[in-house]
Amino acid sequence: MSIRALLTACLAVTALPALAETHSQMPVDYGPRPAFLIDKMADGALKDELAACLGQDGARSAFSIGHRGAPLMFPEHTVESNRAAARMGAGVLECDVTFTADKELVCRHAQNDLHTTTNIVATDLAGKCSQAFTPASGETKASAECRTSDLTLAEFQTLKPKMDAANGDATTAEEYLGGTATWRTDLYTGDATLMTHAESIALFDSLGADFTPELKSPSVEMPFDGFSQEDYAQKMIDEYKSAGIDPSRVWAQSFNLDDILYWIENEPEFGAQAVYLDDRYEAEDEDEGLIDPQDPATFKPTMTELKEMGVNYIAPPLWMLLTTDESGAIVPSPYAEEAKAADLGIITWTLERSGPLASGGGWYFQSVSDAISRDGDYFTVLDVLAQDVGVTGVFSDWPATVTYYANCKGL
């Protein structure tokens, strides 16, 4: 039986809880990376404490969230990526949710990322893409745009997933499929398996993990063929209800505050754990304004107002939660302090998304780049997030790092 057929069958199997119990007992395997990062830390008390845990038995932790599975090495949002994340002890797994032309829900980071996450531009379905592949020419980079909404579910399921990348210098569609970052790998792309949202529910449940689906912003105008934003938000929740998943196991996410408020109003059991992915730092609307993590006056709506709306969890990128003090040490930002003062649970993203930290960590570490100089600083940042900011969960592209820290610290 194929993996896809097995997942489909799991949705109808009444003995699924027994299957989940079996998988939840699988031993956690940290692999070599946590020890490697500890070796790269600056000498000090935290390094000594983490090193003393090297012989510990691993355990699953809800503090550790698989960001699209384990995409540092596996194609994101695939069966294989999420199995790897579960084996690393991630207690919560993510399906980014979008929809196909026939309005079926599937796991993709964006509705318009098929050209970088699958082989579509080199298949017969390339002609259905919103923007056909255009080869590089002179200073103009190669480009394409292929959306899940360009395809039916059946067509989507014929695609082969790959690492999220594209070769901007490509002159052929086949060349465009390359471009994987040097610090990632194509070693595990063979026979990787795409998932529908319903299949992700069955898989994550069978692995003993909880769920954090993200309702992705559509690339098409809504309503789409009569499918409204509210229909979309409701359909995602309905698939958990149909699968018999307890709402306490689901942390539904969205960057769209209206989605969060819809769930709070219409699905209060799910809305109580809905996670507002705060990206107001990118806002251009004068009424919304830009967020400066150092200036609480820019937090619109304020943390207190969010709490009064019924929002209980907020999830900004990790750089918004951190700053440096006069000595150069990493400390919580005023944004983090305001969120805590409003009694908002804080989740953050994404550890180990940027590759090696020797050059300052890139976008995810922009507020503390002066304090980042070595790969071991992943643990330094994680410690401040956990102990000083007080986050309740951390997304990572390699969950073993967060699991190891959580186990060592008893989180």
Give the 3-state secondary structure of 2-66.
CHHHHHHHHCCCCCHHHHHHHHHCCCCCCCCHHHHHHHCCCCCHHHHHHHCCCCCCCCCEEEEEE
Give pLDDT, residue 358: 87
Q: How far apart are CA 323 and CA 337, in angstroms?
A: 11
Q: How far apart are CA 183 and CA 73, in angstroms?
A: 9
Helix (H, G, I), strand (E, B) or coil at 166: coil
Helices 16-24 and 197-206, interaxial angle, to 10°? 60
Give pLDDT, residue 288: 65
Residues 192-231: pLDDT tens digits? 999 999 999 999 999 999 999 999 999 999 999 999 999 9
Say if residue 410 is exposed, middle or buried (CB neighbours under 10 Å; 0-12, 13-18, 19+). exposed
Domains of the chain with bracketed CATH? 3-95+195-249+318-409 (3.20.20), 109-184 (no CATH)
Positions of the chain with pLDDT under 50: 1-24
Amino acid residing at 206: S
CA torsion angle 300 281 378 359 (round to 10): -150
Task: Please name which of 273, 349, 340 lies closest in space to residue 313, comparing C-alpha atoms.
Answer: 273
Give pLDDT, residue 17: 32
Using omega within 30 degrees of 0 as the cis cutoff, is the peptide bond preceding 301 cis? yes
Is pTM beyond 0.75? Reply is: yes
Residues 175-193: pLDDT tens digits? 999 999 999 999 999 999 9
Provide the residue count of the chain: 411
CB 30, CB 400: distance < 8 Å: yes
Say if residue 371 is exposed, middle or buried (CB neighbours under 10 Å; 0-12, 13-18, 19+). buried
Q: How far apart are CA 13 and CA 160, in angstroms?
A: 27
Give pLDDT, residue 20: 34
Q: Which two tokens stand for residue 87?
A: 């084996």
Q: How far apart are CA 91 and CA 411, in angstroms?
A: 12
What does each C-alpha distance from 163 to 116, 119, 226, 249, 340 come to in angstroms?
8, 10, 33, 29, 36
Task: Please name which of 395, 400, 404, 405 lies closest in space to residue 66, comparing C-alpha atoms.
Answer: 395
Q: Using CA of residue 376, residue 85, residue 50, residue 38, what is the dihedral sign?
A: negative
* DSSP of 90-116: EEEE--EEEE-TT--EEE-SSTT-HHH
Task: Please name which of 270, 265, 229, 230 lies closest in space to residue 253, comparing C-alpha atoms.
Answer: 270
Give pLDDT, residue 286: 61
Residues 380-401: pLDDT tens digits? 999 999 999 999 999 999 999 9
Using omega within 30 degrees of 0 as the cis cutoff, is the peptide bond preceding 223 cis? yes
Amino acid residing at 60: R
Give pLDDT, residue 285: 60
Q: Return mean pLDDT, the chain.
A: 93
Give pLDDT, residue 25: 62
